[in-house]
Amino acid sequence: MASIDTHQPALPEPGNEKVPLWQRYTHGHHWRNADDEFDAAKIGIWLFLATEVLLFSGMFCAYAIFRMMYPESIAAGSSYLDWRWGGLNTVVLLISSFTIAMAIRNVQLNQQFWARINLLITWLCAAAFLVIKLVFEYIPKWSEGKRPGSLFDYPFAQHAHENVWWSIYYVSTGIHATHVIGGMVLIAWLIYRQGKGAYGPTHYTMMEGVGLYWHIVDLVWIFLFPLLYLVH
């Protein structure tokens, strides 16, 4: 995520330690003003999000193609998933999306305490998502032999290509989970920096960037959930 924070570090100047970091922030030397820098960072992040969307589009495309090729296998595979875990995870992610949006709002209004609370909730939601995914979905399914491709070891399969379904399932949710882990690292970094007072009404580019990234992770799940759990 080097793309987000390209700013100059705030300079330690004698006498102004009391002033929060975000007020001491000066924009990069090659920028004319902080607004330009902020706008540029935002375009940069949106471009990055575009790459994320296209990365996932590969999995959506594979899903669509195999759905057309082996509709029965995909539907049968879908029936092994429990919508309740998927639905719970959707709710968890939606809440985390809301809290990070609130955290940005708090920072914009210099409500540092609430920003911290919201960021913590976001991080916990991300962790909850992963725990649910791992403990209630990946591990039971994997141990039953519902595995991708040639690793497939589930003797009660109904259709010839259920292994392809599991390939799609594991790879697409796996890439998504990797992004969740990445998001957790970034949010943890935000919490740390926020504790140092790095973000405030005039400077919150990094928070805005991570927020947008986190929303796209949510957005991808919003589509993965019905495709994997509900559509049949």
CB of residue 110 to another protein, shortest distance in Å? 11
Q: Which of 16, 57, 110, 143 binds another protein (CB under 8 A)?
A: 57
Please tell me whether residue 128 binds another protein under the rule CB under 8 A. Answer: no
Q: Which of 19, 135, 160, 181 binds another protein (CB under 8 A)?
A: 160
Please tell me whether residue 145 binds another protein under the rule CB under 8 A. Answer: yes
Q: Which of 105, 116, 141, 193 binds another protein (CB under 8 A)?
A: 105
Residue count at the site for another protein (CB under 8 A)?
107
Q: Which of 35, 110, 139, 192 binds another protein (CB under 8 A)?
A: 35
Q: Which stretch binds another protein (CB under 8 A): 17-25, 79-87, 125-133, 186-194?
A: 79-87
Question: What is the separation, in whole angstroms, between the first and last Cα of the chain?
Answer: 37
CB atoms within 10 A of CB 88: 15
Q: How far is CA 22 from the centre of its chain?
A: 25
Count Cβ neighbours within 10 Å for each residue of 124-154 and write b for 16 or more, e otherwise: bbbbbbbebbeeebbeebbeeebbbeeebee
